[in-house]
Amino acid sequence: MQKIVIEPISRIEGEGKVTIFVGANNEVIKARFQMLEFRAFEEFVKGRMIWEMPLITSKICGICPVPHQLAAVKAAEAALGVKEIPPTALLLRKLILAGGAIQDHALHFLYLAFPDFIFGAETPPEKRSVTGLLEKHPDLAKKAIFLRKSGVRMVEMIGGNSIYPVTAVPGGMTKSLAQDDVREIEKIYRQGLAMAEECAELAWKVVTSQVKDRFPQNTPTTKFLSLVSKDNELAHYDGQLRITDEKGNPLETFPASDYTTFIEEDVERDSWAKFPFLRRLGRHDGVYRVGPLARLNTINWIRTEKAGAWLEKFKTLGGGQPVHEIIYYHLARCIELLYEYEMSLKLLKDETVTGQETRIPVARREGEGVGIVEAPRGTLIHHYWCGQRGEVTRSNMIVPTTHNNAALNQAVTSAAKQFVNDGELDEAGRQQIEMAVRTYDPCLSCATHSWDADRRLKIEILRVDE
Residues near Mg ion, by CB under 5 A: 396-397
Cα angle for residues 276, 381, 162 (degrees, 5° grid): 130
Residue 146 or 272: the one with the smaller Cβ distance to Mg ion is 272
Report whether 394 contacts 92 (CB < 8 A). no
- Binding track over 438-457 against Ni ion, x by CB under 5 A: -----x-xx-----------
Using CA atoms, how far apart are residues 11 and 435, in angstroms rounded to an integer? 10
Sign of CA dihedral 133, 139, 145, 150: negative
Residue 195 or 381: the one with the smaller Cβ distance to Mg ion is 381
- The dihedrals phi and psi of 142, each to the nearest 5 degrees, come to -65, -35
- Binding track over 41-80 against Ni ion, x by CB under 5 A: --------------------x-xx----------------
Residue 64 or 278: the one with the smaller Cβ distance to Ni ion is 64
Closest approach, Cβ 48 to Ni ion, in A, equals: 20
Report whether 174 contacts 364 (CB < 8 A). no
Residue 235 or 443: the one with the smaller Cβ distance to Ni ion is 443
Distances (CA, A) of 163 to 92, 283, 399, 450, 460: 16, 37, 19, 19, 35
Task: Please count the other Cβ atoms lying within 10 Å of the Cβ belonging to residue 179.
Answer: 10
Closest approach, Cβ 62 to Ni ion, in A, equals: 8
Using CA atoms, how far apart are residues 27 and 441, in angstroms rounded to an integer? 28
When CB distances to Mg ion are compared, the closest residue is 396
Q: Virtual CA dihedral for 49, 55, 59, 60, nearest 10 degrees?
A: 50
Q: Return the one option of Ni ion, Mg ion, none that residue 396 interacts with (CB less than 5 to 8 A, by type).
A: Mg ion
Closest approach, Cβ 99 to Mg ion, in A, equals: 27
Closest approach, Cβ 454 to Mg ion, in A, equals: 31
Q: Return the one option of Mg ion, Ni ion, none that residue 335 interacts with (CB less than 5 to 8 A, by type).
A: none
Using CA atoms, how far apart are residues 335 and 203, in angstroms rounded to an integer? 9
Residue 216 or 371: the one with the smaller Cβ distance to Mg ion is 371
Closest approach, Cβ 75 to Mg ion, in A, equals: 13
Peptide bond into 376 cis (omega under 30): no
Q: Return the one option of Mg ion, Ni ion, none that residue 63 interacts with (CB less than 5 to 8 A, by type).
A: Ni ion
Closest approach, Cβ 276 to Mg ion, in A, equals: 9
AA letter at 233: E
Q: Return the one option of Mg ion, Ni ion, none that residue 461 interacts with (CB less than 5 to 8 A, by type).
A: none
Residue 140 or 397: the one with the smaller Cβ distance to Ni ion is 397
Using CA atoms, how far apart are residues 128 and 138, in angstroms rounded to an integer? 14
Report whether 351 contacts 206 (CB < 8 A). no
- The dihedrals phi and psi of 16, each to the nearest 5 degrees, come to -150, 180
The footprint of Ni ion on this chain (CB under 5 A) covers a number of residues equal to 6
Q: Return the one option of Mg ion, Ni ion, none that residue 141 interacts with (CB less than 5 to 8 A, by type).
A: none
Residue 274 or 324: the one with the smaller Cβ distance to Mg ion is 274
Residue 12 or 61: the one with the smaller Cβ distance to Ni ion is 61
Chain centre to alpha carbon of residue 300: 20
Q: Return the one option of Ni ion, Mg ion, none that residue 435 interacts with (CB less than 5 to 8 A, by type).
A: none
Closest approach, Cβ 406 to Mg ion, in A, equals: 15
Closest approach, Cβ 287 to Ni ion, in A, equals: 22
Report whether 13 contacts 401 (CB < 8 A). no
Q: Return the one option of Mg ion, Ni ion, none that residue 298 interacts with (CB less than 5 to 8 A, by type).
A: none
Closest approach, Cβ 276 to Ni ion, in A, equals: 17
Q: Taking the CA atoms of the chain, what radius of gyration do you get in angstroms?
A: 21
Report whether 369 contacts 416 (CB < 8 A). no
- Binding track over 387-426 against Ni ion, x by CB under 5 A: ----------------------------------------
Q: Return the one option of Mg ion, Ni ion, none that residue 88 interacts with (CB less than 5 to 8 A, by type).
A: none
Tell me the residue ranges of DSSP E strands in 63-127.
none
When CB distances to Ni ion are compared, the closest residue is 61
Residue 34 or 57: the one with the smaller Cβ distance to Ni ion is 57
Residue 63 or 408: the one with the smaller Cβ distance to Ni ion is 63
- Binding track over 8-47 against Ni ion, x by CB under 5 A: ----------------------------------------
Cα angle for residues 104, 106, 110 (degrees, 5° grid): 130
Tell me the three state secondary structure of residue 455: coil
Tell me the residue ranges of DSSP E strands in 345-441.
367-375, 378-386, 392-398
Give the bridge partners for 125, in sequence order: none
Q: What does the binding site for Ni ion look like in residue numbers (CB under 5 A)?
A: 61, 63-64, 443, 445-446
